[in-house]
Amino acid sequence: MDITTPTVLKSLSAAGSASKELTAWWKKSKGDSRALIGELKDNLIYLDIVVKDKVELGEVIEKISVAEYKRLANAGFNFNSLKRGKIATLPALKGTDLASWQGKQADELVESIYDKLNDLKLRYPHVKKNSKYRWSVRINNIRKRIWLLLMHVRS
């Protein structure tokens, strides 16, 4: 599956690189942050299985989780505590679908990632054969947002 990945995210899109970054971030984190990062990592692995290993989304959709995010959101967790500050303005993002995220906070990006994951979990089982839903595009958009979150955390 061919996706257009902004240059700044190319290193993370390489096989296993994002997963390794998430593992490193997870090891440095504690408590609720660690739980959320672990859930993000698992979700990225499932999405990668669909994209790289050509496994049907239906085989992994039930394993994709939003439970930790919902628990933390309901408890009033400050998702900006994952990384304070705004997402950097990067020339490589100009003209890409990620350009609008520059200058926003981590909480907005995390919320968007999980909104899209939840939407995928709710819709796919019911409309998986509907041609108006481009599942591969949706999956890749989620993956790119996770990669952008990793770039933000690394900066």
Whether 12 shows a pLDDT value over 70: the answer reads no
Domains identified in the chain, total number = 1
Q: Is 29 within a domain? A: yes
Of 146, 139, 66, residue with least CA distance to 98? 146
Asked whether residue 8 is assigned to any structural domain, the reply reads: no
Residue with the two structure tokens 């390489």: 14
% of the chain at pLDDT higher than 70: 90
Lowest mean pLDDT among 19-28, 109-118, 141-150: 19-28
Residue 5 within any structural domain of the chain: no
Asked if residue 7 is part of any domain, the answer here is no
Residue 67 belongs to some domain of the structure:
yes
Rg, the chain, Cα only = 15
pLDDT tens profile 39-98: 999 999 999 999 999 999 999 999 999 999 999 999 999 999 999 999 998 888 888 899
Range of the domain at 33: 13-154
Q: Is residue 111 part of a domain?
A: yes
Torsion angle of alpha carbons 100, 39, 136, 56, nearest 10°? 180
Look at 132 and 2; give whichever has higher pLDDT: 132
At residue 139, the pLDDT reads 96
Which stretches of the chain are DSSP H helices?
Answer: 10-13, 17-28, 31-52, 57-60, 67-74, 106-127, 135-154
pLDDT at 4 over 90: no
What number is the average pLDDT over the span 130-139? 94
